[in-house]
Structure 1
Amino acid sequence: MPVADFTTYCRMLDRAAENRFAYPAINVTSLTTANAVLKGLAESRCDGIIQISTGGAAFASGTAVKDMALGAISIAEHVHRAAARYPIYVALHTDHCQADKLDAYVLPLVEETERRRAAGLPNLFSSHMFDGSALPLRENLEIAAKLLQRFKSSELILEIEAGVVGGEEDGIRAEASAKLYTTPEDTLEVARRLNEIGGRYLLAATFGNVHGVYKPGSVKLKPSILKDCQDAVIGRYGAAARFHLVFHGGSGSELHEIREALDYGVVKMNIDTDTQYAFTRPIAGHMFTHYNGVLRVDGEVGDKKAYDPRTYLALAETAMAGRVKRAVAELRGEGTTLFKE
């Protein structure tokens, strides 16, 4: 199916919240990694989210260009074409974009969607994240409110973050003193500032999340924080104000912690570190196994089939798709696609 339109994307998110499952949101950096996500989702019969970070987008434009907007547009246009061959819906999203990169990344993509809509074409992206977590909450929400107002007119969904995800991703590092836990007071302020605008938004509330590579059990999460935040906003504004939450920094999380977070309203879980490894592992295995083939050792010619990138990238795509399928299962998403309903 084509990339999910606004109505379909909203149905996806609402259905996930009602049934306590979540969509894997997988970061991609190339056509091959995007294809891996589509493959894994389709084989799981689950809709999902393909997302592109600022660094991933810059890489996708080529090392000589490093244009974030260009790279994101290139991948998105491919997904629009390729997704039509799969029996699922997929949303397109841009990951962490801090305030100093809005003008170079998110806003040019919003402008591209606005041009497409004026020409009668579907949105390029489905949603965008503004990461104002490094700012005071008031300033964070001032920028978010302006973005949500603009997004509303183009049927775009906004994702914001209150609190800070620890660790580092794409060069964005949280300080050791960062506020790693969102409070009920924070979320009440989010609801107060944004709900009156009327657009759709997702909230990345933090509960000890850390970006990076960790062994299972190393990351100490407190999913109960999400329940406290939901209870506060429902108590103040009613059940309709319940947040659609996003889980960042999930590497190293225990399955029971993931499932508990789903019970408290997480509908989207970002996955990057684990799928990066899944993609790279078979490439490393191929290189070690076919050492004499991928290298022209001692003046020999090597084995063209061994060093043809299609050989090992096909292995990488399949392995990454497998990790996507595992994510779907962990998030209770198997067989939940809206396709042909």
Structure 2
Amino acid sequence: MIVSPKIFYTHCYGKYAIPAINIFTLEQVIGLFRAGQKANAPFIVQMTPVARNYTHPDMLLGMIKAASKIYPKATFAIHLDHGNEAHAFDAIASNSFNSVMIDASHDPFEKNVERTRAVVIKAHKNNVLVEAELGVLSGVEDDLSIDEKSARYTQPSEVEQFVKKTQCDSLAVAVGTSHGAYKFSGGQGIQFQILQDIQHRIPYFPIVLHGGSAVNEAEIKRINKNGGRLNSSALGVSSDEITEAIKYGVCKINIATDLRLIWARVHREFFNDNPELFDPIIPGKSYMEACETFMLEKFELLGATGQVSQLKI
């Protein structure tokens, strides 16, 4: 069942968070929907412009539509992640998205407001929510590549005016996380004093945390044991930090890197252990199961398990 994220955010604020999962492949979609239905947990399926270019938006949306029929009790929203105006307007016109993100965070404040407001006007006419971003995250994801020197925390003093001027529906903030597998290289972690200040200035307004993957150390080791060369010092967002962030109004937590690491681990191990095989279906099934297991654990961590029954739909 497709549900507006607004229903999710109203219900979860301060109590639990909605996992927002970036999908690229059929295996990820199946694993996610299996877990969502089994856990009776709400979730957001999201795709980046790179994912849309990889297969075509119609293909991704077709997989999501098919999964919703196969798993009819799965309750979810569909979101465009990190789009520009062209991406957002295309998604809005498709009548297939519940929400879109306009990422103008690299622009000066007033330009960010202007670009975000243009998308909001178009989206709200079509009953689509808009996620905006204030502050710049470092890291690498898809075609995004921001070094630490260019990253900047969200300034709490700007959030109230930004939300008022743009009329956006949720706000992604930069509070210490980063995109990709190399998070917290400076060791500071999530800046909870910034989150607290933001919540004080815009109470009950949905906050979004990008770069929410845990980057499991065991996955890194297993990948490298089977020929990978990932940085073993990579750090993610700890479980304690995630659960603490929810108290400060974080309603949506984006997850992408963890599923990519699981993909690398499953396939490296399979072909290393079975060099005579070449059938993609066998490791594909293992990846579906691994995605499902991962998501069931994530629903539990975020407090989303069983929450569909409590939603006012």
Pairwise same-fold verdict (TM > 0.5): yes
In 2, are the aligned partners of 1:89 and 1:339 still within 8 Å (CA)?
Answer: no
Q: Partner of 2:121 in structure 1?
A: 149
1:166-245 matches, cutoff 5 A: 166-195=138-167, 201-214=169-182, 218=187, 220-234=189-203, 242-245=204-207
Tell me the CA shift for residue 340 of structure 1. Answer: 8.6
The residue number in structure 1 matching 2:10 is 14
Distance 1:216 1:172 in 2: 17
User: 3-state SS of the aligned residue for 1:155?
Assistant: coil
Q: Displacement, 1:339?
A: 7.9
Q: Secondary structure at the match of 2:131?
A: strand
Q: Is the 8 A contact 1:47 1:90 kept in 2?
A: yes
For 2:184 and 2:36, the matched residues in 1 are separated by 24
Retained in 1: the 8 A contact 2:266–2:286?
Answer: yes
Aligned residues: 288
What corresponds to 1:75 in structure 2?
60
Q: CA deviation at 1:84?
A: 2.9
Which shows bigger deviation, 268-277 or 78-87?
Answer: 78-87
CA distance in 2, matches of 1:330, 1:14: 19
Native 8 Å contact 1:25 1:271 kept in 2:
yes
Kindly report which structure 2 residues correspond to 1:254-293, keeping only aligned pairs within 5 A, or say none: 254-292=238-276
RMSD (Å), alpha carbons: 2.0
Structure 1 residue 159, shift from structure 2 partner: 0.7
Q: Is residue 2 of structure 2 the alignment partner of residue 3 of structure 1? A: yes
Partner Cα separation in structure 1 for residue 268 and residue 308 of structure 2: 34
Aligned pairs for 1:18-167 (under 5 A) are 20-60=15-55, 71-86=56-71, 87-97=73-83, 99=84, 102-103=85-86, 105-113=87-95, 124-167=96-139
- Alignment identity in percent? 24
Task: Tell me the CA shift for residue 308 of structure 1.
Answer: 2.2
Instruction: Flag the 1:219–1:43 CA change in 2: closer, same or farther, 3 A.
Output: farther
SS of aligned partner of 1:91:
strand
Which stretch has the larger CA shift, 147-156 or 31-40?
Answer: 31-40
Letter in 2 for 1:337: V
Match of 1:68 in 2: none
**Corresponding residue SS for 1:291:** coil
Residue 220 of structure 1: SS of its match in structure 2? coil
CA distance in 1, matches of 2:30, 2:120: 30
Q: Which structure has the highest strand share of the two?
A: 2
Preserved contact between residue 127 and residue 157 of structure 1 (Cα < 8 Å): yes
Deviation at 1:173?
1.6
Alignment of 1:296-315 (within 5 A): 307-315=278-286
In the superposition, the TM-score normalised over structure 1's length comes to 0.79
Q: How far apart are residue 55 of structure 1 and its match?
A: 1.4
Which segments of 5 or more consecutive residues in structure 2 lack a partner in the other structure?
Answer: 214-235
- What is the aligned partner in structure 2 of residue 304 from structure 1? none
205 and 76 in structure 1: CA distance in 2 versus 1, 3 angstrom threshold:
same
Report the CA distance between 1:109 and its aligned residue. 2.0
Cα distance change, pair 230–340 in 1 and its aligned pair in 2 (3 A):
closer
Change (3 A) 1:265 1:326: same
Contact preservation (8 Å) 2:139, 2:182: no
- Kept after mapping to 2: 8 A contact 1:3/1:79: no
**2:304 match: secondary structure:** coil
Structure 1 runs (4+) deviating above 3 angstroms are 214-219, 338-341
Q: TM-score, normalised by structure 2?
A: 0.86
Q: Indicate the residue corresponding to 2:305 in structure 1.
A: 334
